[in-house]
Chain A
């Protein structure tokens, strides 16, 4: 690959493996399979939203999507409501979730462009509105997903959890897009040097619109799968995924300055993040230590990588 010379994703997998081993040290080696399955399952959701966030971050400094949790929640809620637990409605539910994502993504970019505000503020505002819509849709109802989908989301007929398979497939597609497709090249071009991309004929607005739409659609998919997995759409189901989506992108080795993305790293980082939690739990540490450690890890990674962003004002 003649693009980027280094392969930073290797160490995120290495770190994940190290943490896996450290956890098993306490249990004496038992439960490895269970831990592995859990890691793959929970990492899968982080991967799906992480991939979307990664595309947005690759667009360059200042690009970030804060509406992911709200989109997840609304998509899951609406999808479950549309399906109403009935059999044969799987595609309807999926379509609803993806459609919500598409709408949110288009809305986000419309705001960014029309109001000329930074993406962080635009996605912040829409997240407020979407969250409200989710609350309103979810009024007191406790709808369960159709049995077929619940089974799919929690099952692992091939040994590997289904949701992990979905996430793996998406990662493969994302990798293909970024490495081999015109769209991926354009995203990276804009992230490295937006002016140069403009003068090389890249349609800046078109590509950004597609990227924000892609991110929101992936968030919708993640919300859909998470709702099916959890047996319902809780209003706070997306809350931890905002910071998680950014964390797995950063820790996975994508550049926060844009222009350089790292798909395998998102998987490595997602596994790593889940396994850190498990390890801390196993060793008896609580949520507090976990959060502190997560924050310190994120900051260490960016500190070491440096910004590299040329402040052009």
Chain B
């Protein structure tokens, strides 16, 4: 159990450490409002990170998640607001396209990197068509959900806990989640054991698409408007989040709770760097440095891994 625990403990510990430092630097964040402000934007990021985690669990990589979330945000701010049925249909269709991509990658043995890059163009283009300039408005019910004020913990924390719980149940505990992780671990064995790798992949990608849609909707709930570029940075952020949370690039080994912790940590890191009065210039660079640091630590911890 040792390595298992370590995989989740390391990100959890780093998060706690970072939070402690942030509290120390800026004691006012230790309040209900403060926490909510710190972690507000973590909710859509956490949802998108789960989507990325599912794709990584299949041994693929999704470079289109940022564009997809932006697209979903644009749809939410326009169609979902003005013509909810049409909006819902579009979003459902988008999930279907995601599933199709997952199937095609397997059928034609294509590299997921290039395919997802191509799809990112498509999603971005569609987003630009819907909202050529920033605008739109958040549907009332979305806004209500995202600004709710639960009693003890702020919405951001409650939502993050809920996301972690649901993702853990679906991806790590259920039969379907286990099977899709099995595809990432040893697809040939899965086939020989009688599973349809094609259906599993399509289903997994559809699930990822669903989380992506939720990320877009949540984002609009927070920002109340949308534009085509609103979530482009999510692509790199979600990959970093999954890795920070103990996921591996190959072999299908991921952790849902870790991924959410990773997303929270990255969100927190942005605020942390601001409180440190580190100039904004270096915030992006610091995220890169954090990723490198985590990978280095993991390399040291993985020395014992001998299989494959």
Contacts and interface: CB of A to CB of B under 8 A. Distances in A.
B111 interface: yes
Nearest to A287: B128
A298 B109 contact: no
Interface in B184-221: 186-187
A289 interface: yes
B113 A135 contact: no
B35 interface: no
Contacts of B61: 120
Contacts of A250: 114
A247 B63 CA distance: 14
B115 A133 contact: no
Interface in A92-129: 111, 115-118, 120-121, 124-129
A257 to B, nearest CB: 7
Interface residues of A, number: 49
A162 B151 CA distance: 66
A127 B235 CA distance: 13
A132 B286 contact: yes
Contacts of A307: 108-111
Q: How large is the interface on B (under 10, 10 to 19, 20 to 34, 35 or more residues)?
A: 35 or more
A203 interface: no
Contacts of B296: 115
Interface string A266-281: 0000000000000000
A308 B111 CA distance: 10
Contact of B115 (A116, A243, A292, A302): A302
A299 interface: yes
Nearest to B129: A288
A139 B279 CA distance: 11
Contact of B114 (A130, A139, A256, A288): A256
Contact of A121 (B249, B281, B283): B249
Smallest CB-CB A-B distances: 9 pairs: A128-B288, A132-B285, A295-B121, A291-B125, A292-B125, A288-B129, A307-B109, A288-B128, A295-B122
Interface of A: 61, 64, 111, 115-118, 120-121, 124-133, 135-136, 139, 243, 246-247, 250, 256-257, 286-296, 298-299, 302-303, 306-309, 311, 313
12 contacts: A111-B292, A116-B299, A118-B249, A129-B284, A286-B129, A288-B126, A291-B121, A295-B118, A298-B118, A299-B118, A302-B110, A306-B110
